Structure 1
Amino acid sequence: MTNEATSTVVTEVACPLCGHACDDLSVDTAGKGLTVVAYGCDRARDGFARLGGVPTNASARIDGKPASLEEACAEAARILAGAQQPVFGGMALDLNGARGAMELVDLAGGIVEHINNEFGWRASRAVQDGGGINTTLAEVKNRADLIVLFGTDAVSRQPRFFERTVWVKESMFDFDTSSRHIVYLGAGLNTAPGVSPDGRQPDVFEFDRKRMPEALSVLNALLAKQPVAGEAPLGIPLARWQALADALLAAKYSVLVWTASAFDTPQVDMNVGAIAAIARKLNVTTRCNALPLAGNDGDSTMGAVHLWQTGFPMRTSYASGTPKFDPLHNGLSRLVANGETDALVWLSSLNDTVAPPSTGLPTVVIAPPTQKLDAEPHVFIPVATPGMHLTGHFVRTDKVVSLPLRALKKSPLPAAEQVTAAIVAKMKEVGA
């Protein structure tokens, strides 16, 4: 909605630039770009300004030379029709873009990978093996009295987490949100947002975050009433660890916040499994849930579409005509390094800051005109951005809400799903 009939400011705008998907932004659509004038964070302000502009001379390119959209789609179709095992990366897309991408991946017999999958598949494996108990942003907002952040400050990943979910002015059940107890585990975190409105400091356990498995082992042992060696695990007095364990046991509704990308990569599944174990122990006598901070770069959206359509997570191959999930073998970096792929398609309508890898393979990039590139791809097709130029839907970090994205400014560029549909049509013309 707009403030007035003649206003250029649109209110209650949903932001697709992180998994929190704040839906209260006010955006001025006047001028060449989009300006967030209220309720946005630095990421939103920068992203809307950069991605929300309307290009006047952006065109598709083949080997760096201008080409029509039809020519570029035909060339992309030629590459895919001739490839034995193409890999599809990036995948920072809204729901419509994800659906279009899946149709193309299926037809091309490719392998699909998301830019966040190096962490995501490890976290998913831990939950598959041991289960997990997760909560929603609304539950955190209305119930959580103790919030423990494992290796993350939340705001580096989702800048308005504390503003929108923790230090809120109103909540259900007459809960005083300013009384929440905030705990950070790990050094080098931005703990300032964890200071309560009345100035109460958070509890910070300073240690090298690469030693998170040790910290989680200490907590799990104390909750299970098992002995812990030493008087100061990780250099922190055992009495402090015991006090945290006691606080978790006494809390009415504790929340364990984590994000896979904050952990040392080889430790992701170990840490996630240990956090899930803490939640299981606590739920015997009280209420405790985890809150994974996901959804950035549309990873929850792409993951949801992939799961709906196949029953599998990403890192799945369609080379045999049926989906084959193999997270160890189907990683983009491994496939490229071992020469097991002969073409790369990079789709990304929501993230223009991560460059496609320079592989030496025939590469098709379908992305905003501002896309960062380390090398000119064989085919580049610029696309519009959902939530700025296009309507769409975006799955939030807690995966229980799909927020509608609005078209704020018209763009001459096509949507990613229009491009993938055109490539599909060209491939079918040649019998691929």
Structure 2
Amino acid sequence: MAVAWIGNREAPLQRAAEEAAKLLQSSRCPVFSFDTDVHGTRAVVALAERVGAAYDHIDCAALTRETALFTDRGGMVVSPGETRRRADLVVIVGDLPEAHRRFLLELAATEPDQPSAGQRSFFSVGGQTPPLNGKRSATRLTCGEAGLAATLAALRALCAGRRVSTPVTNFDVFAKALAEVRFPVFLFSGHAADALALEMLQGLIGDLNATSRASGLHLTASESGWGAALASGWMTGLPPRTGFSRGFPEHDPWRYDVGRMIAAGEADCHLWISGSAEWPPPKPHKDMLLVALAKTSGPVAGAAVTIRVGEAGVDHDGVGYLARIGTLTALAARSPTDLPSAAAILRAIADNIPAEAVPPC
């Protein structure tokens, strides 16, 4: 079965890699969109540096909000294991990704191991109150028709003893629980919470720590995205939405928003990397070349070069971020195939670009 195409015609893998390298090297403003494991991210960053490209994760909006929380403002967070063991009050902030459903069920089925802690209690702020199990439910905290950020602001004001124009439902129950517990933990994600809500939440946690103890648990909107942020961080010191147009890494969440760059006509070559069927390659933009590394059975419509790649943890082994343990982990292939990894193809492309090559712009 063919694994590479130049246009609509089958081509040897090495020939397709050479053609992709040629297009990237001649591009004046190449951009990369990717969803891959840590090995793939490392290869993305290395290739972007060589050709002067900007790179961004495919699930970029939520990832940008989460990275901005830590790079711009900072936050107080604990690990998932610490939450399982110590949290005697859990507050679910906004709608969490479905991928974390199993973790919520684990919290509902277990109790904290602190000697004086009682049964773990649950509250939810904004969004839909998630079902836990037959015996547990979360008490909902709402503030009229206000959004998540405004509800958190009202909750923060009430906890500080200030007056609000619209009361928060069940606040008395929440305040009583806060006074009795030893370690409340707020679960949050950039999936449904905007930057203001995330900042307001950290302000609330900080206020609570003035007289007691509280923390947050970051349940990332995208595990592959957070793994990419970590890998990009240790390679360049910066998260995705970083570019090498001036020969060194620069992070700018607006300037290097790849989706914005394509829509504005700034990019002339788009390298799309995804081994997951969840992210099908986009249609090429007018006057822009597309090089697609995707899990596809045939050439991508309109792509100058298409190369089939596998998915880490499915077709081949890899390394990725796992939110349930809060760190990187080995991903064993569940259904091994002969499809090459994105990292291998990216390295093959890079091998066809001289190390001393100077980007056109």
Q: Structure 2-normalised TM-score?
A: 0.89
1:214 aligns with 2:150: yes
Matched with 1:38 is none
User: Please, which moves more after superposition, 296-305 or 268-277?
Assistant: 296-305
- Structure 1 residue 108: Cα displacement: 1.1
Say what the alpha-carbon RMSD is for the aligned residues: 2.7
- Structure 1 residue 210: Cα displacement: 6.7
Secondary structure of 2:191's counterpart equals helix
1:191 aligns with 2:116: no
Matched with 1:99 is 42
1:262 to 192, 195, 203: 192
Gaps of 5+ in 1: 1-56
Matched with 1:17 is none
- Structure 1 residue 214: Cα displacement: 1.5
Structure-1 separation of matches of 2:199 and 2:129: 25
Secondary structure of 1:225's counterpart equals coil
- Give matches, 1:362-381, under 5 Å: 362-369=289-296, 375-381=301-307
Structure-2 separation of matches of 1:224 and 1:415: 52
- Structure 1 residue 399: Cα displacement: 7.7
Secondary structure of 1:262's counterpart equals coil
- Structure 1 residue 368: Cα displacement: 1.8
Matched with 2:219 is 293
Q: Is the 8 A contact 1:383 1:415 kept in 2?
A: yes
Matched with 2:274 is 348
AA at the equivalent of 1:121? T
1:119 to 62, 66, 89: 62
Matched with 1:181 is 121
Q: Is the 8 A contact 1:387 1:407 kept in 2?
A: yes
- Give matches, 1:186-335, under 5 Å: 186-187=126-127, 189=128, 191-193=130-132, 195=133, 199-205=135-141, 211-230=147-166, 232=167, 236=169, 240-263=170-193, 268-294=194-220, 296-335=222-261
Structure-1 separation of matches of 2:171 and 2:5: 58
User: Please, which moves more after superposition, 165-174 or 329-338?
Assistant: 165-174
- Structure 1 residue 192: Cα displacement: 1.6
- Structure 1 residue 280: Cα displacement: 0.5
Q: Is the 8 A contact 2:187 2:216 kept in 1?
A: yes
2:330 to 404, 416, 419: 404
Could you give the per-residue CA deviations for residues 140-181 of structure 1, whole angstroms, max 9, x where no partner exists?
A: 1111111111111x3524231223x4134576446878x211
- Give matches, 1:376-387, under 5 Å: 376-387=302-313
- Structure 1 residue 278: Cα displacement: 0.9
User: Please, which moves more after superposition, 399-408 or 411-420?
Assistant: 399-408
- Give matches, 1:55-204, under 5 Å: 57-89=1-33, 91-152=34-95, 154=96, 156-163=98-105, 165-169=106-110, 172-173=113-114, 179-187=119-127, 189=128, 191-193=130-132, 195=133, 199-204=135-140
Could you give the per-residue CA deviations for residues 278-329 of structure 1, whole angstroms, max 9, x where no partner exists?
A: 1101112222111121162511111111100111111111011100111121
Shift of the 209–85 alpha-carbon distance from structure 1 to 2, 3 Å rule, reads: farther
AA at the equivalent of 1:279? I
Secondary structure of 2:337's counterpart equals coil
| Count of residue correspondences | 356
Structure-2 separation of matches of 1:247 and 1:372: 58
Shift of the 419–262 alpha-carbon distance from structure 1 to 2, 3 Å rule, reads: same
Secondary structure of 1:329's counterpart equals coil
Structure-1 separation of matches of 2:137 and 2:207: 28
- Structure 1 residue 185: Cα displacement: 1.9
Could you give the per-residue CA deviations for residues 243-301 of structure 1, whole angstroms, max 9, x where no partner exists?
A: 324433442111111111213xxxx1110100001110111222211112116251111
Secondary structure of 2:147's counterpart equals helix
Shift of the 88–228 alpha-carbon distance from structure 1 to 2, 3 Å rule, reads: same
Structure-2 separation of matches of 1:430 and 1:363: 24
Q: Is the 8 A contact 1:62 1:378 kept in 2?
A: yes
Structure-1 separation of matches of 2:108 and 2:114: 15
AA at the equivalent of 1:259? S
Shift of the 302–210 alpha-carbon distance from structure 1 to 2, 3 Å rule, reads: farther
Shift of the 61–158 alpha-carbon distance from structure 1 to 2, 3 Å rule, reads: farther
Structure-2 separation of matches of 1:190 and 1:156: 13
- Structure 1 residue 121: Cα displacement: 2.0
Could you give the per-residue CA deviations for residues 24-48 of structure 1, whole angstroms, max 9, x where no partner exists?
A: xxxxxxxxxxxxxxxxxxxxxxxxx
Q: Is the 8 A contact 2:272 2:293 kept in 1?
A: yes
Q: Is the 8 A contact 1:130 1:273 kept in 2?
A: yes
- Structure 1 residue 370: Cα displacement: 6.3
Shift of the 63–175 alpha-carbon distance from structure 1 to 2, 3 Å rule, reads: farther
- Structure 1 residue 104: Cα displacement: 0.8
1:423 to 337, 346, 349: 349
AA at the equivalent of 1:151? G
Shift of the 186–379 alpha-carbon distance from structure 1 to 2, 3 Å rule, reads: same
Structure-1 separation of matches of 2:204 and 2:220: 20
Gaps of 5+ in 2: none
| Residue identity (%) | 25
Structure-2 separation of matches of 1:216 and 1:400: 25
